[in-house]
């Protein structure tokens, strides 16, 4: 069964929210404390030891490590190790000039992560453990969550408590939601674009096109509004947030309708055309390149993945560079691009060429 992350709102009294925020602040202090000690070791010895043994030794010296659940502290330790691994990879390729990963802001509230222990979900009630070493003596807190309707839990494997700095609310992320049975065995090929947001070809020959012009017009309008504002000002951030909400709404409308069509037609597999490296492989000029780089391809794919998983149609990506999967023919052959016109030529096995 595919894993799906469900986003939920946290509803609690002010005292409980204050305790959760304090625990998240402790996670930030632990993360920055580990980085500080590793940087100090590098200045003294010229080497960085990111082994779990060394990081566990440092954790014993950090008083804030007792402010939240011990297994969550270990996950914070793993975040530091992953940060250094990513930094080493960038340093090896010459893509960074820094000497170490950066600290988190002092007022940043780090996520509280729980994996298979330390939490309990009973309907809309969630109870999380905060450990036994807090100074205020609080060992666990409970709160209520609300999420999209029609979703049932089978077994929640992971839980994350995050803080949305835009809305100023604490949210929960629950991993693994019970997926519906597969609606069928048919396939559909899906190609992503800009003017045509999604082009879907079903095995029965039906083709659906979803226009992306409305999204382009929304982005163009708010870009013109932001051009007259001071960057990173309060009004500038408000406009950026409003643009984000409108674009996400349009993406939700398009992806929800597409998944509903897949369920109605008995589609059990969605093949998405590969877009890996698309930004690096083309050069259409500064203006068009900027539009292409800002287009939310990954967000669109993530929406298709979790909505398809809930409906039983699991999207699988076809990693095919320069080709597209054709679902019009029974064999599902590949279509070759015809120059830069946007057209494709379909070549069925034993058949003649057909323009897509």
Mean pLDDT by 10-residue block, N- to C-terminus, for the chain (356 residues)? 79 95 96 95 89 94 94 95 91 84 92 93 92 92 89 83 88 78 83 88 90 90 91 90 92 93 88 72 69 80 84 56 42 40 42 39
pLDDT at res. 127:
95
DSSP state at residue 116: S
Check residue 333 and give its pLDDT: 39
Token reading at 154: 């089978």
pLDDT at res. 331: 39
Task: Give the C-alpha separation, 77 to 314, whole Å.
Answer: 33
pLDDT at 340: 40
Residue tagged 């590969």 (tokens): 274
Per-residue model confidence (pLDDT) at position 179: 62
Q: Tokens for 165?
A: 């700095």
Distance, CA of 171 to CA of 314 (rounded, Å): 26
pLDDT score at 349: 36
- Which SS3 state, helix, strand or coil, does residue 349 take? coil
In the structure encoding, which two tokens stand for residue 336, read together? 């070759």
∠324-210-181 over CA atoms, to 5°?
75
Q: Which residues contact 30 (CB under 8 A, 6 or more apart)?
A: 59, 62, 64, 65, 73, 76
Global pTM exceeds 0.75: no
**8-state DSSP, 344:** E
pLDDT at 330: 38
279-315: pLDDT as tens digits: 666 677 777 666 677 788 888 988 888 888 777 766 6
Residues 6+ positions from 173 with CB-CB distance below 8 Å: 5, 6, 7, 8, 158, 159, 160, 161, 162
Q: Are strands 112-115 and 5-11 parallel, antiparallel or unpaired?
A: unpaired
316: part of which helix (H) or strand (E)?
Answer: strand 314-318
Residue whose pair of structure tokens reads 């003294």 in the numeric block: 44
pLDDT at 320: 40
DSSP 8-class letter at 77: H
Provide the greatest CA pair distance for the chain: 76
């Amino acid at each position: 069964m595919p894993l799906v992350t469900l986003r939920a709102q946290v509803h609690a009294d002010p005292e409980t929210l204050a305790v959760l925020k304090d625990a998240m602040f402790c996670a930030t202090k632990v993360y920055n404390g580990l980085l500080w000690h590793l940087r100090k070791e590098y200045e003294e010895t010229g080497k960085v030891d990111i082994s779990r043994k060394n990081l566990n030794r440092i954790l014993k010296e950090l008083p804030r490590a007792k402010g939240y659940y011990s297994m969550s502290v270990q996950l914070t330790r793993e975040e530091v190790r992953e940060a250094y691994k990513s930094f080493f990879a960038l340093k090896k390729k010459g893509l960074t000039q820094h000497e170490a990963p950066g600290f988190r802001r002092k007022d940043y509230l780090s996520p509280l992560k729980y994996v298979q222990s330390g939490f309990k979900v009973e309907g809309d009630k969630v109870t999380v453990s905060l450990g036994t070493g807090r100074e205020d003596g609080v060992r666990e807190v409970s709160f209520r969550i609300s999420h999209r309707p029609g979703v049932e839990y089978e077994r929640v494997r992971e839980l994350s408590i995050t803080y949305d700095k835009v809305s100023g609310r604490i949210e929960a992320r629950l991993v693994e939601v019970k997926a519906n049975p597969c609606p069928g065995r048919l396939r559909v090929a899906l190609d992503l674009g800009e003017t045509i947001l999604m082009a879907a070809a079903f095995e029965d020959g039906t083709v659906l096109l979803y226009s992306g012009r409305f999204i382009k017009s929304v982005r163009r309008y708010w870009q013109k509004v932001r051009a007259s504002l001071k960057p990173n000002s309060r009004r500038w951030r408000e406009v950026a947030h409003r643009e984000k909400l409108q674009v996400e709404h349009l993406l939700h409308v398009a992806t929800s309708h597409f998944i509903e069509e897949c369920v109605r037609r008995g589609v059990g597999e969605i093949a998405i055309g590969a877009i890996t490296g698309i930004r690096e492989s083309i050069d259409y000029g500064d203006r068009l390149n900027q539009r292409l780089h800002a287009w939310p391809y990954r967000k669109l794919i993530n929406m298709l993945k979790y909505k398809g998983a809930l409906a039983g149609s699991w999207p699988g990506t076809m990693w095919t560079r320069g080709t597209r999967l054709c679902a019009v023919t029974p064999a599902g052959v590949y279509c070759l691009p015809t120059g830069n016109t946007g057209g494709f030529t379909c070549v069925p096995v034993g058949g003649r060429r057909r323009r897509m």
